[in-house]
Structure 1
């Protein structure tokens, strides 16, 4: 049933029957939602799909959700509403929302239980490296010594930092270059360098021109 698509009239009829506990007539539709006509195309489509049955021996006809119909509506709930929904649809949806509200009262469920706070997204080492670079440079794009970066990441394993730096460089999310004036390098700068591509890289930059 997951591949079923419904027109607005089909959508309306299915949800109307859900609110009416699975069975209803146009008289009941009129009382609950203000409409008393079911489009023939919607009747035919839903009966052909086996989602509703129609008892034409009653006046007015009785419409009933089949078991596959209930399953189809359940699969329909998380999907986007069909385009061009009408005021009729809005009224039907509000009735269904009131059903959910009544269930929440019975089950002692609050909205906060349905909409919990999102789980915090774990910060990756790559995220930390980029965030640390931003902290060191502020709003400017500039070269930063790897020594300064490593000092801020002193709780991370050196080998893991080196691996992520190399990956970010390969993905062109960061730039790693040698210091052009090698005479300015201290022993600490040399120790903090990353050996990459056959040379030591001492500086990190992001979008530096």
Structure 2
């Protein structure tokens, strides 16, 4: 654990590890009542432990680097920072227990925390990087190009599920004659109709 990291930066590492994928402060606040301060963000970014990019409405999106994951895992075997409140102390104790069990089983914590929500969050992240604002229509071809490591069948299954839950909107391209072969190949069939475009949120 780098000695120069302060308490807020160490807590941010733990929060991002638990969250697994890219996270904005609104997401962290909604799920964990926690936000990454500017000072902690700059500290972690300078140390090469996270990457930060701008998304919709100038929101910062944070993601652990490989070194960040390694340091976050070491954080769980380090004494907790001084001055933490009882909930944080309990959280550290729980994670230390998970870390010990994971090590015995031969797992990395990245494997333990990665769950079914991972691809959904990556879809939202990819969309936010392609859309100018929430509700914009983005081509599925462009979205798939951002998620080439996700198997086609798995991505289609998750898109179907997110559309069913009304978390995304999938639409056909109104100008079918102008569709490229790439756009046609990227389409997903729902209700017997090919959908070529995705939108998330509202303008």
TM-score range, shorter chain: 0.3 to 0.5
Which structure has the larger Rg?
A: 1
